[in-house]
Structure 1
Amino acid sequence: MVAVAGAGFGAYWFQPWKLWQDETVEEALPDTVETSPPPAGVPSKEEPSEQPSPTTSGPQTLASGDLISHEHATSGTVKLVRLADGSHVVRLENLDTSNGPDLRVWLTDAPVKQGRAGWHVFDDGKHVSLGKLKGNKGSQNYALPSDVNWSSYNSVSIWCDRFDVSFGAAELARL
């Protein structure tokens, strides 16, 4: 009886069937996104130089990087994009990683390190969860909250919250 209960708990915790289930999400880059405004009386942390100029007419990529593998084989491109209305999204393009339990997209201030040295660094410093990973394959967008100053962060991780490990990450290079 104990073995059955243990096996049931293990299956729930690890969710091994997800390794054979892919979820593809293909989202277009939006023109605008809805984000939560900062509370009344709290100024935005957006730097004045990052406000859209009158000549800016569409999305502008501010930083980008290629995903490297950590705990699981991961590839694709990450872009930080300012939309025409001044809001920002983190865009994953051509993402290909394993499915897993409780995967999140994190914007972090941690350096991206190759191999096992990079598996656990992203929860050591400052990070913002942009939400659950929508799919383990495809292109998708994650809105940055309006009170987040993106220039304080330099990497994005596909983070497994259940096991506190990075599936893959990208260093964001300013353009």
Structure 2
Amino acid sequence: MRRRAVGITTAAVAVVVAAVALPLFQPWRLLTDRVVDEALPGTAPISTTSSSTTPPTVSAHPAKPTPVVKPQPKVLLTGKLITHEHRTSGTVAVLALPDGGRVLRIENLDTSDGPDLKVWLSDAEVTPGRDGWHVFDDGAYRSLGSLKGNHGNQNYPIPADVRLDTFRSVAIWCDRFNVSFGAADLKSA
């Protein structure tokens, strides 16, 4: 009878622990990926397909098309992501857009999926290894939003009131556990 009571109590505790731990830690995210491939801001995607079934017409006097040169984004700051809590690689760039806006561009991102991941600008120095895992919320930081995907290329608008000279790094930050998955120092381009 006593063994049965111990078994039931153990099972009940295991169920309660699982009910709390699974939503908190979300261990299945270690096996999932979200791929995002956004175009570089200010550039138009090139399409080589057409939905028209009508053959093109040829003019007797073809006019030379005038090339349209669109202004390109200007690279202000760049950096390379390093690994912290989870293996992370890719590059970051702060771009000034032709319309006057600014965007943080992350390219070739490769990191783990995780709960509550954010993209932060921070005044913290990027430190390799465990010493760099928890420093990004110690001083000034600004969240640019949730990480859109753990693989690929993505853009994060930088609000007009953000002074870039205040920030020196970018962090992929797990807000739930207050730890950096990876980070990059921002250097002048």
- Shorter-chain TM-score bucket reads 0.7 to 0.9
1:91 aligned onto 2:102: no
May I ask how many residue pairs the two structures share in their alignment? 152
- Match of 1:79? 93
Paired with 1:87 and 1:150, the residues of 2 have a C-alpha distance of 13
| Deviation digits for residues 6-40 of structure 1 (CA, Å, limit 9, x no counterpart) | 111101100000000000000011129xxxxxxxx
CA distance in 2, matches of 1:31, 1:171: 25
Task: Report the secondary structure of 1:121's partner residue.
Answer: coil
Give the share of equivalent positions with the same residue, in percent. 59
Matched, 1:24 2:35: yes
Rounded to whole Å, the distance in 2 between the matches of 1:28 and 1:150 is 23
Matched, 1:6 2:41: no
Amino acid at match of 1:81: L
Q: Does 1:169 align with 2:178?
A: no
Unaligned runs of at least 5 residues, structure 2: 1-11, 44-69
Aligned to 1:132: 146
**Where does the alignment leave 5 or more consecutive residues of structure 1 unmatched?**
33-55
3-state SS in 1 of match to 2:94: strand
Bigger RCO (CA 8 Å, 6+ sep): 1
2:8 counterpart residue number: none
Aligned to 1:52: none
Deviations 1:106-165 (A, max 9, x none): 001100000001000000010000000000000000000111111211100000000000
Instruction: Report the TM-score when normalising by structure 1.
Output: 0.84
Supply the distance in 2 between the matched residues of 1:28 and 1:61 (Cα, whole angstroms).
Answer: 15
- 2:84 aligned residue (40, 57, 70): 70
Q: CA deviation at 1:170?
A: 0.2
Secondary structure at the aligned position of 2:14 is classed as helix
RMSD across aligned positions (CA):
1.3
Q: Which runs of 4+ in 1 moved over 2 A?
A: none
How far apart in 1 are the matches of 2:155 and 2:92? 10
Structure 2 letter corresponding to 1:57: P
Structure 2: which amino acid aligns with 1:29? L
